[in-house]
Amino acid sequence: MLRNAIELWLAFLAAILITGLYALVVIFTREIPPASDLFGHGLGILGFILMLMTETLYSIRKRMRSARWGRMSRWLQFHIFTGLVGPYMVLLHTSWKFNGLAGVTTLLTVIIVISGFVGRYIYTRIPRTADGNVIEGSLSAEALKQARRLMALWHTVHIPIGMALFTAAFVHMGAALYYATFLK
Q: How far is CA 176 from CA 25, 115, 154, 168, in A?
A: 23, 27, 32, 12
The mean-pLDDT minimum among 9-18, 97-106, 117-126 falls in 117-126
Closest CA to 151 of 116, 99, 183: 116
Is residue 18's pLDDT more than 90?
A: yes
- 116 residue type, one letter: G
| pLDDT at residue 2, rounded to an integer | 41
Q: What is the pLDDT of residue 130?
A: 58
Percent over 90 (pLDDT), the chain: 29
> Of the candidates 126, 96, 104, which has an alpha carbon nearest to the alpha carbon of residue 4?
126
Range 26-32 average pLDDT? 93
Angle made by CA atoms 124, 75, 11, in degrees to the nearest 5: 75
Instruction: Look at residues 74, 89, 8, 99 and name the one whose alpha carbon lies nearest to residue 44.
Output: 89
pTM of full prediction above 0.95: no
Average pLDDT over the chain, rounded to whole?
84
Mean pLDDT, to the nearest integer, of 158-166? 90
SS3 120: helix
DSSP lists the bridge partners of residue 134 as 128
What is the C-alpha separation between 167 and 182, in angstroms, rounded?
21
For position 102, what pLDDT does the model report? 84
pLDDT tens by residue, 173-182:
888 888 877 7
- Model pLDDT, residue 127: 66
Instruction: Round to whole Å and give the CA distance between 20 and 24.
Output: 6
pLDDT band at residue 6 under the 50/70/90 scheme: confident
Q: pLDDT (tens digit, 9 = 90+) per residue, 139-159?
A: 677 877 787 788 888 889 988
Query: Which ranges of 94-140 would DSSP assign to H, the alpha helix?
Result: 100-124
Residues 67 and 95: beta-carbon distance below 8 Å: no
Distance between CA 157 and CA 64 in Å, rounded?
A: 23
